Structure 1
């Protein structure tokens, strides 16, 4: 939830029953809403203080921040989603249109259940504070992993705006990331790249034989006055083979003649076939049998380098589903024997009344028919079902969030659980704010609860089951620790709880300052 920011006023109108209610909110206040939720069958109104992602639904994936151009990597039983770090831009104290020029980091989140997402923070990529100091921006990431010299390595490809593609490496999915070559991996000098208008939007495929391929490109040739032929066949998509080290290319890039190509290369493999997907352009005339404007189209080949044959589209523009359009960006992935597509839409911005190009990640199921064609995806706010229960007896990062109201995340000085130097905490906690996780399996019963907390103010944490006003099973009395990064484990007994429950943490305290920060929590049986 984006709650404190430079002063501005925003007014938004939401449908409530049969009446139109107008809300005005100033900066430094919570924006509680009645959210308009679109399902496949009907439109229903859910009353909640959660913004955009309402309890029981799983889209957008996060609401404490934005995230665009999502790419999913499955590793060690988790889905990691990497995104361009959309964040509010301002002009004269007001939120301005997102022009993407400030994006210099990549946001990473992960989940093992598809509903509760752990915020791993922003990866510093471009600029003086980034790993790739030669780059000015970090757009549209793609990530994969491969065993190199007997050790698992991770590779993050990103676009330096529309001019080049870089690569970073790490030993874990969340970093820390370094630039192994100190320059772009793909530039206008790369063989076969001539004719690409926008050198951006990478997608990476690790084939079954361990060979990597990089897909990229976009734009329409012809400048400000392209011909219909250039619009229909831009020939600006490319694929190039990666060297065995994954940080260099080999050979020439091959042209992908994708009809009405605009941007957003995607790649996945299904039943031995290679599926190249992309966002169609918004220009010219799109005859029947070609992709409509701003939809995700796809082509199929028997070879990762092509040639590819056009098959159709499977994801409409976000405006068709959510009432607010914009560009389209996606990635297809498989997790626990189910296929999914992650994409972005301006749903959080819409809930805030700010539809100026600030995007949020979503996931919906993707299915094939008997001949291998992709069925049209039914994108919605409901999203996907939870594929595993949360284990409340393991250390759970507080920044693992199913739903919330009023909260933010920040870099923490406390040691991280995956990488000691990379950790976040939940902050910006005021009276009445709350956080919830979905479907925690308590088994035969929990007896106590602990949390790692830092505070200068103090307050209480109420633990409720199944709803914000559900059964109260315990309360932690938070006393000041001496600083907002001075950490102390605090405990309380809980009433015996067993079975599977949603868990709500309700925060109470006095004053307008941040009550406390939370690093992690854990139930004890």
Structure 2
């Protein structure tokens, strides 16, 4: 991203140094996502054509890799989409703090992505969509993308953030696929996995003849294809969706038993009022393959909200029983360039249904979604988890122990900062702070509450570690950090080069105990054999696949560590799933009859009042699972 153009004058900095609890350096300004707002989702990089997947208490947003393209004189030119050969990924448990998972190097043809492209046959990767499906007991993820406007490819993974592989070595859908004849632009995929596990792929767009009014009104270039059980094959022939004034941007979701197909209206000719140019319209059907009936529209062109237009791209999703729409707008580029120049950034706003199933007009804005859960500062938090920031960038890191495609925060200069929304320090508060850093220069991290000039609760001195990818964990004391606050990490130092890189951070609480224990015999037991036992401990016995125990727990924030004490009735391995709010978040395994304690660390899950279940899984009766207690650790 572009760095700030200037610092405050030295005299102002000296004035600040005379004030109590203030930095000697002036904090720089955020670009487009201002503290307190939730849109755009990020402003340290760009992202277009967003699609949202919800999994295990997190929202994952996948985007085309918009990036600034430069003229020979160094000025930024209009977006020519030449950088769209990767997929950018971010995720959040609270809709404000988004973790940057970097870019998936999708396209591999002609040495794209420096020869590291996954799909060697593809030159581009536009407008991704992602599905999750459990196949043979294994969670699988499927990323569909457009190779420009010429076909649809698919990548697979066992995780929503990769690593990804190309299972076919070629496009999944081309113009030669049955039923695809007549599609002008074969791009913009959207995917739905129905309640019965069947997958459907929606794609297409364009106008066959822009000088013909009938062709503009009914292009008939949208298609739906049934996917095979493997999600990487096509069953039968594609079906045409007669979407009036169709241009691009297929979307699909299911609400109250109805299938909602949504898309962007075209910009050609004269439109009746029911089909406003460049807005998102929708159709409904009782079947995933149609026929679909036009209903109305619900998302205006971004120009209406932000004063800069361009194309309109969206996806509708449900998270924690609330409906949302993710879309793009040229808000970051407009702030930086004065004109969007076609460079796009992701936004999310609420989507509301009327009692008759119609959708209300979405109100796009910079406020976005209020934070829905507090962040836990007492677990490892990736530095690239960002609510707001000023001046920084992210990069792929060599630091170990992080997620797939781990990133660090870099391009750190004096006065830059990274902020986190609503972290809950609890009543006992934090006593220490540690961070994993790498540096050849050094500097300081000021830990401030609620603003970049807010209460200073600690300062971490960062010295040279011997290299920008030579990592060292360092620690400092913290005081007066209690309750719920935004956290601002303000970076200070001298010189004009990168002060240091930041991999992760974590606070430590002064509380003597930060956990909750629930005894198995106090849970509600259900199943064919579940019951209380007294040996090998006071607890509960599970049998086969149907037994479970349950209780209700309130979670203030969405990540905890869980430990379960249990045993198997035989030398075989007994497995017990942990489910929170109807989502399986992990599995405990016990081998042998001697009780042991098994741990699931840093598990993301839904917040608020949730049903917690321990569910026996296995082979229907050759062993029993014995459970003593479950600890929920902060």
Please name the residue that 1:76 is paired with.
56
Matches within 5 A, 1:189-268: 189-222=176-209, 225-268=210-253
Q: Name the CA distance, whole Å, in 2 between partners of 1:325 and 1:317.
A: 6
Q: Are the structure 2 counterparts of residues 116 and 30 from structure 1 closer, same or farther at C-alpha, using a change threshold of 3 Å?
A: farther
* CA positional deviation for 1:101: 2.3
* CA positional deviation for 1:30: 8.0
Maintained 8 Å contact 1:403/1:436: yes
Maintained 8 Å contact 2:28/2:416: no
Q: Name the CA distance, whole Å, in 2 between partners of 1:169 and 1:52.
A: 34
Please name the residue that 2:459 is paired with.
475
For the pair 1:183 / 2:166, whether they are aligned, the reply is: no
CA deviations on 1:78-134 (whole Å, 9 max, x unpaired) are 000000000011122221111212211000000000000000000000023211010
Please name the residue that 1:38 is paired with.
none
Larger radius of gyration: 2
Equivalent position SS for 1:513:
coil
Stretches of 4+ aligned residues off by more than 6 angstroms? none
CA deviations on 1:369-400 (whole Å, 9 max, x unpaired) are 01000000000000011111000001000000
Equivalent position SS for 2:132:
strand
Which residue, out of 292, 300, 313, partners 1:308?
Answer: 292
Give the RMSD, CA atoms, in angstroms.
Answer: 1.3
Q: Are the structure 2 counterparts of residues 408 and 75 from structure 1 closer, same or farther at C-alpha, using a change threshold of 3 Å?
A: same
Q: Name the CA distance, whole Å, in 2 between partners of 1:175 and 1:288.
A: 44
Maintained 8 Å contact 2:28/2:391: no
Matches within 5 A, 1:40-439: 49-92=29-72, 93-127=74-108, 128=111, 129-222=116-209, 225-289=210-274, 291-353=275-337, 354-419=339-404, 422-439=405-422
Q: Name the CA distance, whole Å, in 2 between partners of 1:418 and 1:123.
A: 14
Q: Name the CA distance, whole Å, in 2 between partners of 1:284 and 1:71.
A: 29
Q: Which has the higher contact order (CA 8 A, sep 6+)?
A: 1
Maintained 8 Å contact 2:388/2:418: yes
User: Structure 2, unaligned stretches of length 5 or more?
Assistant: 9-26, 510-634
Maintained 8 Å contact 1:220/1:226: no
Q: TM-score, normalised by structure 1?
A: 0.90
Please name the residue that 1:19 is paired with.
none
CA deviations on 1:266-300 (whole Å, 9 max, x unpaired) are 000000000000000000111133x1100000000
* CA positional deviation for 1:416: 4.4
Maintained 8 Å contact 1:48/1:54: no
CA deviations on 1:186-209 (whole Å, 9 max, x unpaired) are 000110000100000000001000
Maintained 8 Å contact 2:201/2:225: yes
Q: Name the CA distance, whole Å, in 1 between partners of 2:80 and 2:383.
A: 32
Q: TM-score, normalised by structure 2?
A: 0.75
Equivalent position SS for 1:331:
strand
Maintained 8 Å contact 1:3/1:30: no
- For these two proteins, the number of residue pairs brought into alignment is 482
* CA positional deviation for 1:490: 0.7
* CA positional deviation for 1:497: 1.7
Q: Name the CA distance, whole Å, in 1 between partners of 2:396 and 2:330.
A: 25
Maintained 8 Å contact 2:279/2:300: yes
